[in-house]
Amino acid sequence: MTSSKVRYLIFFQYFGTKYSGVMKTPTHQNILGVQNYLEEAVRKLRPANEVSVSVSSRTDSGVHALCNSAHVDIQRKSGKPPFTERLLVDALNYHLKPEPISILKAYRVADDFHARYRALSRTYVYRIITGARHYSQLPVFERSLCWAVHENHLNVTALQEAAKLLLGTHDFSTFRSLNSETPFKSPIKTLLQAEVCSGVGSFSQHPFHRHMQYWDLTFRSRSFLYKQVRRMTGALVAVGQGRLSPSEVKDLLEVRDSLAYPQNMMAPPDGLFLQKVEYEETDLFPEAMETDLT
């Protein structure tokens, strides 16, 4: 006898440097994806069903997540009751040790809930640091967690002006990298947020690091194209450095050609974080909402 299958939405974070990305890779590869480890942790719970974790938001090798999400079905054996949300979080974190992956929260959701397609928006933050002439000058706690652009100062006013040009609904073909999915995905996206603000670094007030300035570039949309955030960040930083003007960013947007994007301008993966994935509250608490309506 088995229990009924239960679907959970899990929120998780990870340090992306050691992984091939978040998506699963063949197990014979030397470097695996975060999804490989999530599914193995679920298997160690010994469910009766085949394990498949459906990740909501793709991140590439070297990109980190403060909060990504996924759904998974778990059917327990021998008539055992479904895992409580708290117990599931604790059990998965136990089996994920010592990987730099952590389950933050779990919700029991409807059987037809889909982590990817039900997401309202995704927010990415790209961290930049100025004032470090070489990678070796970065605080050791910041390496692989930000992009050192080598200038002492950026023209933040021009950078902010260029960021505003990206807001709204556009054909972002120039700002996507080509891959096997390109012919099947629309380049039309609506950018809800594109902001530049002063950031905070680890131990940034230490006397050896006070000359360094941190900047956060924040982007929010329902979904993004392949490497869109890194391409937008690279172009905006080029504006801050004086290598591009805001009007040239507008021209890049309007030309709608991935091959028109300047070579070697895309930001590296290190400073990019998936900050959050948002859902309707009714998706997270379906039973409570049904109670309110009765």
Catalytically active residues, by annotation? 60
What is the four-CA torsion angle of 92, 98, 104, 106, rounded to 10 degrees?
-10
Query: Quick check: 215 and 154 in contact, CB under 8 A?
Result: yes
Phi, psi of 199 (to 5 degrees): -110, -175
Check residue 293 and give its pLDDT.
Answer: 42
Check residue 55 and give its pLDDT.
Answer: 98
The per-residue pLDDT for range 225-265, each reduced to its tens digit, is 999 999 999 999 999 999 999 999 999 999 999 999 999 99
* Series of mean pLDDT values for 10-residue runs along the chain (294 residues): 85 97 95 98 96 97 97 92 96 97 98 97 96 76 86 90 98 94 91 92 56 91 97 98 97 97 95 97 74 44
**DSSP β-ladder status, 188-198 and 213-221:** antiparallel
Overall pTM > 0.85: yes
Amino acid at 276: K
Check residue 79 and give its pLDDT.
Answer: 79
Secondary structure of 10-61 in HEC code, one letter for each residue: EEEEECHHHCCECCCCCCCCCCCCHHHHHHHHHHCCCCCCCCCEEECCCCEC
Q: Summarize the annotated binding site as residue ranges.
A: 124
Q: Summarize the annotated binding site for substrate as residue ranges.
A: 124
The per-residue pLDDT for range 49-87, each reduced to its tens digit, is 999 999 999 999 999 999 999 999 999 988 789 999 999
Check residue 204 and give its pLDDT.
Answer: 53
Q: Give the angle 27-18-61 at the CA atoms, nearest 5°.
A: 85
